[in-house]
Homo-oligomer: A and B are copies of this chain.
Amino acid sequence: MRVYNFSAGPSTMPVEVLETIQKELLDTDGAGYGHMEGSHRAKPYEAVNNDAQALLRELLNIPENYYILFLQGGATQQFEAIPLNLLGKNNKADYFDCGHWATRAATLAKPYADVNIVASSKEAKYTYVPSVENLPIRPDAAYLHVTSNNTIFGTRMTKYPKTNLNMIADMSSDILSRPINVADFAVIYAGAQKNMSCAGLTTVIVRKDLVDNDYTMPICPSIMKWKTHADANSLYNTPPTFAVYVLLRMLQWLKGKGGVEGIQIQNEAQAKRFYDYVDNSKMFSNPVNKADRSVMNLIFHAQTPELEAQFVAEAKEAKIVSIKGHKSVGGLRASFYNAVTDEMVDYLLNFMREFERKHLNECK
């Protein structure tokens, strides 16, 4: 019996994709073995590696002058890889701070970089995304780092700064959920465990000139150099082969849903229904500036910590899981990644309405 899993990541996957993987686990594409078991140097994986790159390129319209790298270590490893790969000649790095992970990216860059925070909404507990206009970006910085969606605070960027700098975006929690113009960015990176695949795969999309010209710091370990992996077509060492195969099946599923343009319609409609209900609820509320609300991670509150604890407990009884807010902020959170169906949203909203009806007298 499947539960209603609203985890912020690793997160629920489409049942159709899971059933395909299940069916193929002992024999994929007639190879006679599954992709947990195949040599990364054999033809079946060569096809997976190349097909996944090609389909990601197609779905995100990634120009030919970008490498697509399949790496390990998560976005957190990239927080250090970014300065190590880019600050060899110039150690100035600007960061746009709109949440916990943006802060982590800047903090982990500090041992390598002269870090400048160009804007922050920390003082307002990250309930909005700072304006991207007139930022004090240093014209001679090596790059500007942004975070497109904030899993913990439930916000997203809808506009990006206009800048001549190389812009780097952590898109871990909303890649493939809406169209982007890749050419606006020098580097896009994302942990896979939300919209892409299972955990253990990190995708880096990087403009070729940044890799081919050597901006790497001399202390950068070989394994963290993008060039190491670009030169080897992501086969420098054994890649997370199964996770790349799962990515391919997820991308094929997404293409069947009309690609990022198609899934965006679903995502926006689901979020609108959720926020419309919460905004009109007498019990639930959302603290985020409306224009900046995330379509992937929808946070909400229920007036008192006691009611929120009660909500989590009753949700569990109703087979709704991973609905708690991040431990650093408390409250409640539902993540509506691409795989979340309208039926799941219906179920959650019905549960919330029923909970509100039942417990309204306990509200202030």
Contact = CB atoms under 8 A, between A and B. Distances in A.
A203 interface: no
A220 to B, nearest CB: 9
Nearest to A32: B3
Copies of this chain in its oligomeric complex: 2
A21 B236 CA distance: 28
A115 interface: no
A239 interface: yes
Contacts of A322: 38-39, 42
A76 B10 contact: no
Interface of A: 1-3, 5, 7-13, 15, 18-19, 21-22, 25-27, 31-34, 36-42, 72-77, 79-80, 84, 108, 191, 193, 198-201, 219, 221-224, 236-243, 246, 319, 321-322, 327
14 contacts: A1-B32, A2-B33, A5-B33, A7-B37, A10-B36, A12-B33, A22-B26, A41-B327, A72-B77, A73-B223, A80-B221, A200-B241, A240-B243, A242-B242
B73 A73 contact: yes
Nearest to A335: B39
Given A8-B39, A18-B34, A77 B241 contact: no
A2 B27 contact: yes
Contacts of A222: 80, 108
B3 A31 contact: yes
Contact of A40 (B31, B77, B199, B219): B199
A139 to B, nearest CB: 29
A199 B48 CA distance: 15
A237 B192 CA distance: 13
Nearest to A197: B36
Given A22-B26, A40-B199, A73-B73, 15 more contacts: A2-B26, A2-B33, A5-B32, A8-B39, A10-B38, A11-B37, A18-B26, A33-B321, A72-B73, A76-B236, A84-B221, A191-B238, A199-B238, A200-B201, A200-B240
A322 B79 CA distance: 37
B26 A25 contact: no
Given A5-B33, A32-B1, A199 B73 contact: no
A125 B25 CA distance: 38
Contacts of A108: 222
A33 B27 CA distance: 23
Nearest to A242: B198
Given A26-B22, A31-B3, A238-B9, A42 B199 contact: no
A25 B22 contact: yes
Nearest to A78: B223
A18 B34 CA distance: 9
